[in-house]
């Protein structure tokens, strides 16, 4: 299985691989050199080959398992500390125990290795552990040597003694101070970076809020005042309106525009002038409610299929010309369980359904039947509006259609709008959803199934039956006695 590493981790891995290769080669050379020397300490015969073997093991581990980068770093630092600290303590104790042995003559050249190890720790360790690890390394390496020089000052004044004093005293102290400064600077840079990211996220959030507000404002204006204005313009052009009615509809248009402006600025909308409790009033804000074009506000916290039913019912009551000729109305909104469906998504879906219905009421001349359904099919939820009107007119793609494609993209679904061969338009929006549990309930009751059909003034619920075209066909059909009738 391939492992994905960030660019910084990839670079660090390459550096560690190069360091391990160099340490393996150096330890191998040191092993050969010590083997050729006479009268060598046993520690010098054990330390280099063991260091070479452990370096090779870590090299193979990191090469075959890139995800073990931090583990290899920690083990490599532990290995380096042990193989540097052990000679320091060994030779210091040997010099303390025997007056014939001097530390400056027997101590291996480990000062440069210890400084290299501190630099390696600076590059690889996290800032939280770096300073403490540096202090411990300084104490572990320099402690026994500087202590020996305190009790044996005659060796301190030799050239090797002064070199060891400068390396393990002043130089390591300055490097430790620089590491502390580096930690502070790195923390400051990290804080500035996080602050910049937060600032950038706030800008993106504000831009997103502003863009959503503009889209919602456009949709509310498009579904409300613009529909009224378009119908008024059509009636004036065809001279089918009196002056009194013209003035009355202008007043209604003015009221709709003011209502839309009020809904965009008001932060505490109520639900259609209903009496609500103080708890509900506290949560009643513009983010939880949607104002439809005809003026009613609906609660977006309701299940989606209930919201779609509200939008369907309220929109078809609007005074749009093509709604007056509809004889058969079919609607069925299947329940949907999708926890990732946010309030903004619900708002967009409701506005999409409202706009689709308004398009039928405004443009579908000669329409007698409208079918509005929301159904689950093969893991998708398909929201469909279909009529048998005059069909689509060829022309430029309108802004509402562009918004529909954008909504489908946000939902990860598809949008389709086309004319039917036998007349009419089908407009559907589909997106992937999860499965609904069998025990799904709404307000403690089972969710309704089947279709709801309205024929003139009759509302019926049908189960696996064909759709009637008119009231006469309904009265002459064989299934009407077995249907559930609500008036």
- Helices 304-316, 343-363: inter-axial angle, 10-degree rounding: 30
Q: Please state the length of the chain.
A: 487
Positive/negative CA dihedral, 150, 156, 160, 165: positive
Name the band, by pLDDT with cuts 50, 70 and 90, for residue 454.
low
316 domain residue, yes or no: no
Pairing of strands 297-299, 289-291: antiparallel
Grouping H, G, I as helix, E, B as strand and the rest as coil, residue 372 is: strand
Give the range of the structural domain holding residue 148, as residue numbers without chain letter.
7-199
Full-model pTM: 0.50
245 domain residue, yes or no: no
- Percent of the chain scoring above 90 in pLDDT: 11
Distances in Å between the Cα of 441 and the Cα atoms of 31, 33, 335 are 77, 82, 9
375 domain residue, yes or no: no
- Number of domains comprising the chain: 1
Q: What φ, ψ does residue 387 adopt, rounded to 5°?
A: -135, 170
Q: Quick one: pLDDT at residue 430?
A: 92
Name the band, by pLDDT with cuts 50, 70 and 90, for residue 440.
very low
Which of 220, 160, 192, 186 lies closest to 350, judged by CA? 220
185 domain residue, yes or no: yes
302 domain residue, yes or no: no
Q: Name which residue leads in pLDDT, 23 or 37.
A: 23
Name the band, by pLDDT with cuts 50, 70 and 90, for residue 286.
low
194 domain residue, yes or no: yes
Q: On the CB side of 47, how many CA atoms lie within 13 Å of its CA?
A: 21
pLDDT in tens, 41-62: 777 778 888 888 988 999 999 9
Is the pLDDT assigned to residue 218 strictly greater than 90? no
Long-range contacts of 417-423 (CB under 8 A, 24+ apart): 417/392, 418/392, 419/391, 419/392, 420/386, 420/388, 420/391, 422/388, 423/388, 423/389, 423/390, 423/391
215 domain residue, yes or no: no
52 domain residue, yes or no: yes
């Amino acid at each position: 299985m391939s492992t994905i590493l960030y660019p910084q981790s990839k670079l660090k891995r390459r550096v560690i691989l190069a360091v391990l290769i160099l340490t393996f080669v150096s330890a191998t050379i040191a092993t050969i050199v010590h083997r050729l020397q006479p009268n060598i300490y046993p520690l010098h015969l054990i330390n280099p080959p063991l260091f070479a073997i452990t370096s090779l093991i870590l090299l193979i581990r990191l090469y075959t398992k890139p995800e073990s980068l931090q583990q290899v770093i920690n083990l490599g630092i532990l290995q380096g500390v042990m193989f540097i600290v052990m000679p320091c303590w060994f030779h210091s104790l040997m010099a303390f125990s025997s007056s014939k042995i001097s530390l400056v003559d027997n101590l291996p050249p480990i000062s440069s290795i210890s400084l290299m190890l501190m630099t390696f720790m600076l590059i690889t360790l996290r800032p939280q552990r770096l300073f403490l690890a540096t202090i411990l390394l300084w104490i572990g390496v320099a402690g026994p040597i500087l202590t020996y020089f305190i009790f044996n000052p005659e060796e301190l004044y030799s050239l090797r003694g002064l070199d060891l004093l400068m390396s393990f005293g002043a130089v390591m102290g300055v490097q430790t101070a620089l590491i502390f400064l580096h930690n502070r600077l790195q923390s400051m840079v990290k804080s500035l970076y996080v602050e910049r990211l937060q600032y950038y996220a706030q800008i993106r959030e504000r831009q997103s809020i502003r863009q959503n507000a503009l889209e919602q404002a456009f949709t509310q204006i498009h579904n409300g005042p613009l529909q009224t204005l378009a119908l008024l313009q059509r009636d004036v052009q065809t001279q089918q309106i009196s002056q009194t009615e013209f003035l009355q509809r202008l007043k209604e248009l003015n009221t709709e525009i003011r209502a839309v402006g009020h809904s965009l600025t008001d932060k505490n909308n109520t639900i259609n002038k209903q009496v609500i409790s103080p708890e509900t009033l506290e949560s009643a804000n513009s983010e939880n409610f949607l104002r439809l074009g005809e003026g009613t506000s609906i609660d977006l916290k309701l299940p989606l299929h209930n919201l779609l039913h509200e939008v369907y019912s309220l929109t078809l009551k609007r005074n749009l010309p093509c709604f007056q000729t509809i004889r058969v109305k079919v609607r069925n909104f299947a329940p949907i369980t999708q926890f990732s469906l946010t309030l903004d998504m619900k708002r967009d879906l409701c506005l999409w359904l409202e706009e689709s219905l308004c398009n039928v009421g405004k443009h579908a001349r000669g329409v007698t039947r409208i079918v509005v359904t929301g159904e689950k099919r093969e893991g998708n939820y398909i929201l469909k509006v279909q009529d048998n009107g005059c069909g689509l007119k060829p022309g430029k793609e309108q802004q509402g259609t562009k918004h529909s494609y954008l909504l489908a993209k946000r939902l990860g679904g598809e949008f389709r709008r086309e004319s039917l061969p036998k007349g009419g338009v089908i407009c559907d929006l589909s997106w992937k959803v999860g499965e609904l549990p069998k025990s799904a309930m709404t307000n403690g009751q089972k969710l309704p199934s089947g279709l709801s059909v309205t024929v003139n003034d009759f509302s019926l619920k049908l189960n696996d039956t064909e759709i009637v075209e008119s009231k006469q066909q309904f009265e002459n059909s064989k299934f009407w006695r077995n249907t559930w009738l609500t008036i």
